[in-house]
Amino acid sequence: MSSLKVAMIGHGFMGAAHSQSWRSAHRVFDLPADPQMAVLVGRDSSKAAAQAAQWGWESSSASWQEVVERDDIDIIDIVTPGASHAQIAIAALEAGKHVLCEKPLANTVEEAELMAEAAERAAVRGVRTMVGFTYRRVPAASFMRQLIAQGVLGEIQQVRASYRQDWLVDSTAPLSWRLQQDQAGSGALGDIGAHAIDLVQFTTGLPIQAVSGVLQTVTEHRPLADGSGFGQVSVDDLALFNGRLGNGALASFEASRVATGRKNALSIEVSGSRGALAFDLEELNSLQYYNREDQQDRQGFRNILVTEPVHPYLSGWWPAGHMLGYEHGFSHQVKDLVESISGPTPAHSTFAEGLQVQRVLDAVARSAGNESAWTQVARESRIHLA
Amino acid sequence: MSSLKVAMIGHGFMGAAHSQSWRSAHRVFDLPADPQMAVLVGRDSSKAAAQAAQWGWESSSASWQEVVERDDIDIIDIVTPGASHAQIAIAALEAGKHVLCEKPLANTVEEAELMAEAAERAAVRGVRTMVGFTYRRVPAASFMRQLIAQGVLGEIQQVRASYRQDWLVDSTAPLSWRLQQDQAGSGALGDIGAHAIDLVQFTTGLPIQAVSGVLQTVTEHRPLADGSGFGQVSVDDLALFNGRLGNGALASFEASRVATGRKNALSIEVSGSRGALAFDLEELNSLQYYNREDQQDRQGFRNILVTEPVHPYLSGWWPAGHMLGYEHGFSHQVKDLVESISGPTPAHSTFAEGLQVQRVLDAVARSAGNESAWTQVARESRIHLA
Amino acid sequence: MSSLKVAMIGHGFMGAAHSQSWRSAHRVFDLPADPQMAVLVGRDSSKAAAQAAQWGWESSSASWQEVVERDDIDIIDIVTPGASHAQIAIAALEAGKHVLCEKPLANTVEEAELMAEAAERAAVRGVRTMVGFTYRRVPAASFMRQLIAQGVLGEIQQVRASYRQDWLVDSTAPLSWRLQQDQAGSGALGDIGAHAIDLVQFTTGLPIQAVSGVLQTVTEHRPLADGSGFGQVSVDDLALFNGRLGNGALASFEASRVATGRKNALSIEVSGSRGALAFDLEELNSLQYYNREDQQDRQGFRNILVTEPVHPYLSGWWPAGHMLGYEHGFSHQVKDLVESISGPTPAHSTFAEGLQVQRVLDAVARSAGNESAWTQVARESRIHLA
Amino acid sequence: MSSLKVAMIGHGFMGAAHSQSWRSAHRVFDLPADPQMAVLVGRDSSKAAAQAAQWGWESSSASWQEVVERDDIDIIDIVTPGASHAQIAIAALEAGKHVLCEKPLANTVEEAELMAEAAERAAVRGVRTMVGFTYRRVPAASFMRQLIAQGVLGEIQQVRASYRQDWLVDSTAPLSWRLQQDQAGSGALGDIGAHAIDLVQFTTGLPIQAVSGVLQTVTEHRPLADGSGFGQVSVDDLALFNGRLGNGALASFEASRVATGRKNALSIEVSGSRGALAFDLEELNSLQYYNREDQQDRQGFRNILVTEPVHPYLSGWWPAGHMLGYEHGFSHQVKDLVESISGPTPAHSTFAEGLQVQRVLDAVARSAGNESAWTQVARESRIHLA
């Protein structure tokens, strides 16, 4: 059994989830190679060392540059904030490392394009890239894509997607870095709207080609963290937009941090000529399916528990009917990445796909700045989209 | 006990629902006057007579003009298609009759304005008008308005509303008059989107001041009813739009006739600084309530069964816990109209409010024709809004 | 069009629901004869007269004996408390009147047997009887029976039923007549457990042949209504029992007035070799259906909205997707009774069926008094069960 | 940081879940000692070695007897079938090892008593025992216990619990060892009914003192696995029973393997004088709470997402609103066991508690064999219950 040495750059909350998956995936699935948790990288040496010990990484380092150049490292896993993604990822790709990068791919389209180009150059040499759109790999979402690809919905006629949270309803919540554009790049739109965009494109197989949208900052001034007064919020709390898909169908989107009572509610419903499918992350083991071809008097949305061995990714886990949670998408991500590294083809959610999401986000922001006028998503790309 | 003689003009499906309510309301509620089902009017004498017998109207007539002029008639109830509303309603108002008119108030803003002006003139003489937005009078929706008016939600920060049906998913459904603009005026937008608009404005007490929207006809050609080929659909199957409310908050709207598997799904969710409320017509006896002031570890959406004597309109019906249905909103409409006729003030959903909804619909259509650019809802009215 | 003159004996809450249905059924459905609301009977003349005026009965009377003997009366509708059912019903049947009687058929098995015998004798002369198990006639419940009769569930292997309310959680609720055995006959068992028993037998077509059960009075002493102290509760607050059905399958039952937060929650789930069906009165327009013969990866409980024209009783009401409520079962009851009077065969829920439910209740009480030992439901009847 | 060396005896499905938790718990929670996955024991050396490699155990052994005697081993984790639990656990306890044992504690009350006695003797020396009732440690279930212990429900008046699966609806499913009494001990009752019993006693803090129940084998003959014909099923497919709790309240139970369409549906609802709580394993991140002290017009079951840092066990995992799954209960079990080993007191779910569940199961079986007559749960124990 060969192994793949992994270095993880960064160690925030995402680092915890990634560590759990690097630790688990090959214990649960029969993988062609075992990931080896080699190095954890963090700017503060002692913090990085402590976190490495906690999470089970063999060593730690304060220099991602050194780690990226190490001959023995196979995979670079980037879980830092978006502003540093481009620099690290491009260096890693040029050093021939496979790269897993958290979403969003970058804070700007320009950086994302550079990353996608680097990925395209590296791909020639068999180097794999993956963006961390883990919700794709929740079994119910993967199964939704499978069913749609099989034609179960017929022609897709309408899509609705929303991602709703409520942590900014509290007007006394402080002005964190996430609420400042220079650091976060974007607000609800980029943080959670990106997941909704990706899930629509992934499950339907249809790209968003144009958008019309509006952004709003509900609470414009918030207390500074140091108690010295109030500061200006410079990102959106709420994004509402419509998109036109590749087949002409309309899709509606909502990304909200002010949806009182909604904690992590990512929902998508796809309506087609033969049926409909609906998924909600707050019931992540279920998929709702309506079949127009059921006998007429007994049609209805079926609540399919996506927990059977016939469903995607389930064979590795527990017996039928046992629930998975949020973190399992990360293990499936590791599984797919490792298998693609050992196999002939890339797995889905490549950097090229991450760039496409970035372009949609950018078009929404431009539309919002132009009275919600319909705005084309850039396509004239220097790189090939999968 | 005095009585109020009613004449109903028209006898389609809405006539059946109205008849049930004219027959029931004073049996269930103690009303200041009993409605008397005096005349049913229909263009075809024999059909009108048959329908009058079926529904329990004392007589029938083929001439609304004659009926409107009759001294003994107190209330004119208009359930004809939208194109004839203005002519009948204005004549009735000028003859001093109270008028209940099905929604939409008219097929155009211009007609709606004339009707609202006639209503304003007649109001001086104590004449009442009401538009049939019956969903307001579903107890859960009425209770939602009560709670919001009490401040239970604090500042309203976001609203979402949708009305989804699926009868146009079937691409072989024929080109009925409802799908032709000259007869129907509008498609999903005016037919069901109007209910969503009204419900948002009614429950929040906030008018929609500007909109950005898009309309789509998913199936553009449909078989002619006579089998002679295909014809062009000239109204929308799907409307997506955003609105800005009077306090600056954003509201998203969807009206769809292609939402596969959704039969009559009118939903609204209002998010505020102190809590949230959500209502869904497919569970019309329930109201979802999230209270941010509940103890922190036990916050969650409560499923309130709005079937207790303390809830609006419930005292007249069955014991606690017994479900009401679609038609009861119509009985509540009769109750409110009769009470307002006998009382000092108009009931809500006056013609002025119907006009306001018409103006929102018009603004959406104009925005859709202008690349979804934000469009003001007309306010410079010659009449007084309540 | 012929008409059928109806006299209603009693005018409590059930009288209101019955009046609504006598008033509505022939307006909604094409019936072979129109019910005519001829007389309302109540012991107190002035109250009866007032109630008759309120509900639309043509006249009132203080003597059920006189009314029962009137030649012009066709149907006697009994909505008095259970203790008087036998006397009135038997007199009416002997006078050749069709009889609709509220459930429970009687307070004792003995009385119920006499009533069923009288019904059997009268049936020879074409006289119809019906017990008011209206939940059978909620469309979703009727549809459930249809599907099971068609074999959609295969062999029935397990049934669960419960009817839960919570009005006795409040320990300060007074000792009303409903909580005293001599007046009410029984507590939760007879009042609401009877509905669960009937619904199981009706939907499955299988009689309960033996039972094992326990009864409990959670709050044994309650304040007297006159404030003079406390009295002993002599009926059950909670009944739990299991039954063996005609095919050997087990069914579990719960009837509770102390199920905190449950208002009127009648639920039934039938599990069979080919599928399962579940109904819940709190979502009375829905039926849950699981089909084991659906493709394996997409099996799940379907939420069928029983609001389409293809579903039982729906053709008379509103367009697809519009909700019915509690009271509509009563209109369906009138429809079925009137049609059976004009037709060749009785409608279901005859007095013989009411007697069978009474025998099950009696067997449960006997089992509860005998350490929950299994107890046969009496079958050696002098009358023929349908 | 000290470590605790673990040996796991057995390596079926439960071994996979336990391995995931031994691997994860100290990475997620700050534990006083780190578990070290030292030895995996299995009768077949090569299979045990392969499984050890797959799951990350440092070594393997074919002899549990040798491993139990090793000085360096601290914890014995037993995941073998029930028949071998007593022998292994008692030997391990006598050797001074802490023991975690899968449920059911044993196949008979007699063996369970011997195990509980051995545990009691070992406890004097600081040795800990734990039975694997992991559903207790699903956060929503733990939170339910907390709330009830705080008095949130007031006096408990009624409990309902059920555990429903459907894998035996298929009458062609073969006669596996699980369906033969000599190997499995019991059917649905012991396998899944045990979880329902434990959860009721755990959440309410009330022991079951007497029971009345019935067992049924729906499909009595099943094909032999070797295709040589049919054999007799000797365990129950379905168990229905009622129990009387320590405070006199009634609890109803169902354990079914023939509940068509229900996959792993463990539900419990506790009704009290001040409120109610309901938990369903198929929505394991939620807890339903009804508060009778909410304002009267806005009472309803709240859907509490038990995914906030204030909730039990959540602080170690992901940010608010992120879902956990089935396996996390096992990690919480490891956390509690390790903390109790390093701390002054045992954690809950000791062998004494496992014995109590066994006694309830035994009483149900005896009642079922005696016409469902009420049967006392044995209490005259030689050991002390916690």
Can you spell out the DSSP letters for D170-211? -TTS---GGG-HHHHS-SHIIIIIHHHHHHHHHHH---EEEE
Q: What is the pLDDT of residues B72-83, one digit of tens each?
A: 999 999 999 888
β-strands B275-280, B265-272 pairing: antiparallel
Confidence of residue D385 (pLDDT cuts 50, 70, 90): very low
Helix count and strand count (H, E) for chain D: 11, 17
- Give CA–CA dist A8/A100, Å, rounded: 9
Please report the ipTM that was assigned to this predicted complex.
0.95
C315 CB within 8 Å of a chain A CB: no
- Give CA–CA dist C296/A161, Å, rounded: 27
D165 and D262 together in one domain: yes
| pLDDT score of C22 more than 80 | yes
Residue B378 lies in a domain: no
Q: Which H or E element spans position D250? A: strand D250-256
In sequence order, what are the residues at sequence separation of 6 or more whose Cβ sits closer than 8 angstroms to the Cβ of residue A345?
none
How many structural domains does chain D have? 2
Residue type, B46: S
- Give CA–CA dist B210/B359, Å, rounded: 10
- Residue of chain B whose Cα is closest to the Cα of C305: B263
Nearest CA of chain C to the CA of D226: how many Å?
Answer: 24
End-to-end Cα distance, chain B: 31
Residue B34 CA: distances (Å) to CA of B5, B22, B68, C11, D71: 9, 9, 20, 21, 93
**Domain endpoint, select from C134, C163, C180:** C134
Nearest CA of chain C to the CA of B36: how many Å?
Answer: 12
Q: What is the pLDDT of residues C106-157, one digit of tens each?
A: 989 999 999 999 999 999 999 999 999 999 999 999 999 999 999 999 999 9
B80 and B159 together in one domain: no
Do residue A260 and residue B292 have CB atoms under 8 angstroms apart? yes
B289 CB within 8 Å of a chain D CB: yes
Q: What is the pLDDT of residues D150-170, one digit of tens each?
A: 999 999 999 999 999 999 999
C54 CB within 8 Å of a chain D CB: no
Residue D97 lies in a domain: yes
Q: Give the pLDDT score at C184.
A: 82
Do residue B252 and residue A252 have CB atoms under 8 angstroms apart? yes
Do residue D300 and residue B305 have CB atoms under 8 angstroms apart? yes
Mean pLDDT of A139-149: 98
- Give CA–CA dist A89/A95, Å, rounded: 10
The domain that holds B269 is classified in CATH as 3.30.360.10
**Domain endpoint, select from C114, C134, C154:** C134
- Residue of chain D whose Cα is closest to the Cα of A305: D263
Q: Which of C144, C297, C305, C315 to mutate to test the interface with A (most CBs of A within 10 A)?
A: C297
Residue D249 lies in a domain: yes
Map tokens 């999903």 to a residue: B188
C343 CB within 8 Å of a chain A CB: no
Confidence of residue B13 (pLDDT cuts 50, 70, 90): confident
- Give CA–CA dist B41/B61, Å, rounded: 5
Map tokens 């709005």 to a residue: B306
DSSP string over A150-211: TTTT-SEEEEEEEEE--TTS-TTS---GGG-HHHHS-SHIIIIIHHHHHHHHHHH---EEEE
User: For chain A, which chains pass the contact test of at least 3 CB pairs under 8 Å?
Assistant: B, C, D
**Interior/surface letters D1-32, b for 16+ CB within 10 angstroms, e for the rest:** eeebbbbbbbbeebbbbbbbbbbbbbbbbebe
D101 and D231 together in one domain: no
| pLDDT score of C385 more than 60 | no
Residue A370 lies in a domain: no
Residue C278 lies in a domain: yes
Q: Give the pLDDT score at D13.
A: 87
Residue C217 CA: distances (Å) to CA of A200, B2, C171, C179, C226: 55, 50, 12, 10, 22
| pLDDT score of C355 more than 70 | yes
- Give CA–CA dist C208/C356, Å, rounded: 9
Q: Is A12 helix (H, G, I), strand (E, B) or coil?
A: coil
- Which chain A positions have a beta carbon within 8 Å of B292's beta carbon? 169, 260-261
Task: From C119, C70, C131, select the one nearest C90 (Cα to Cα).
Answer: C119
- Give CA–CA dist B250/B241, Å, rounded: 11
The residue with greater pLDDT, A176 or C169, is C169
- Which chain C positions have a beta carbon within 8 Å of A315's beta carbon? none
Q: Which of B170, B219, B269, B372 to mutate to test the interface with A (most CBs of A within 10 A)?
A: B372
Q: What is the pLDDT of residues C63-88, one digit of tens each?
A: 999 999 999 999 999 999 888 999 99
Residue A125's CB is within 10 A of a number of other CB atoms, namely 8
- Give CA–CA dist B87/B101, Å, rounded: 12
Task: From C57, C54, C25, select the one nearest C41 (Cα to Cα).
Answer: C57
Residue A173 lies in a domain: yes
Confidence of residue B385 (pLDDT cuts 50, 70, 90): very low
A106 and A163 together in one domain: no
The percentage of chain D sitting over the pLDDT mark of 90, rounded to a whole number, equals 88
Nearest CA of chain A to the CA of B374: how many Å?
Answer: 6
- Which chain D positions have a beta carbon within 8 Å of C254's beta carbon? 160, 252
**Interior/surface letters A292-319, b for 16+ CB within 10 angstroms, e for the rest:** bebeeebbbbbbbbbbbeebbbbebbbb
- Residue of chain B whose Cα is closest to the Cα of D305: B300
Residue type, C188: A
Q: What is the pLDDT of residues A225-241, one digit of tens each?
A: 888 899 999 999 999 99
Residue D360 lies in a domain: no
Mean pLDDT of D245-264: 97
The domain that holds C18 is classified in CATH as 3.40.50.720
Confidence of residue B386 (pLDDT cuts 50, 70, 90): very low
Do residue D303 and residue B300 have CB atoms under 8 angstroms apart? yes
- Give CA–CA dist B63/D331, Å, rounded: 79
- Which chain D positions have a beta carbon within 8 Å of C249's beta carbon? 218
Confidence of residue D184 (pLDDT cuts 50, 70, 90): confident
| pLDDT score of B94 more than 90 | yes
A181 and A312 together in one domain: yes
Q: Which two tokens stand for residue C201?
A: 């037998």
Do residue A374 and residue B374 have CB atoms under 8 angstroms apart? no
- Give CA–CA dist A385/A108, Å, rounded: 18
Q: Which H or E element spans position D366? A: helix D351-368
D307 and D252 together in one domain: yes
| pLDDT score of A62 more than 60 | yes
Q: Give the pLDDT score at C226.
A: 86
Residue type, B210: A
Q: Give the pLDDT score at D386.
A: 42
Task: From B133, B106, B37, select the one nearest B361 (Cα to Cα).
Answer: B106
B188 and B310 together in one domain: yes
Q: What is the pLDDT of residues A298-317, one digit of tens each?
A: 999 999 999 999 999 998 89
D306 and D240 together in one domain: yes
The residue with greater pLDDT, C226 or B31, is B31
Do residue C308 and residue A300 have CB atoms under 8 angstroms apart? no
Mean model confidence pLDDT for chain C: 95
C46 and C20 together in one domain: yes
Residue D349 lies in a domain: no
B59 and B192 together in one domain: no
Do residue B157 and residue A166 have CB atoms under 8 angstroms apart? no
Range of the domain at C265: 139-283+285-324
C115 and C24 together in one domain: yes
- Give CA–CA dist C240/D159, Å, rounded: 11
- Give CA–CA dist B59/D359, Å, rounded: 77
Q: Which of B166, B170, B327 to mutate to test the interface with C (most CBs of C within 10 A)?
A: B327
Q: Give the pLDDT score at A386.
A: 42
Q: Which of A279, A302, A306, A314 to mutate to test the interface with C (most CBs of C within 10 A)?
A: A302
User: For chain D, which chains pass the contact test of at least 3 CB pairs under 8 Å?
Assistant: A, B, C
Nearest CA of chain B to the CA of A273: how many Å?
Answer: 6
C27 and C145 together in one domain: no
User: For chain B, which chains pass the contact test of at least 3 CB pairs under 8 Å?
Assistant: A, C, D
Cβ atoms of residues D367 and D374 within 8 Å: yes
**Domain endpoint, select from D296, D324, D352:** D324
Mean model confidence pLDDT for chain B: 95
A293 CB within 8 Å of a chain C CB: no
Counting beta carbons within 10 angstroms of the beta carbon of residue C49, is it exposed (0 to 12), middle (13 to 18) or buried (19 or more)?
middle
- Give CA–CA dist B378/D302, Å, rounded: 42
- Give CA–CA dist D274/A12, Å, rounded: 42
Mean model confidence pLDDT for chain D: 95
CA angle (C299 as vertex; C294, C304 as ends), nearest 5: 90
Q: Give the pLDDT score at A74.
A: 98
Q: Which two tokens stand for residue A384?
A: 């090939």
Q: Which H or E element spans position A100? A: strand A98-101
- Which chain C positions have a beta carbon within 8 Å of A294's beta carbon? 302
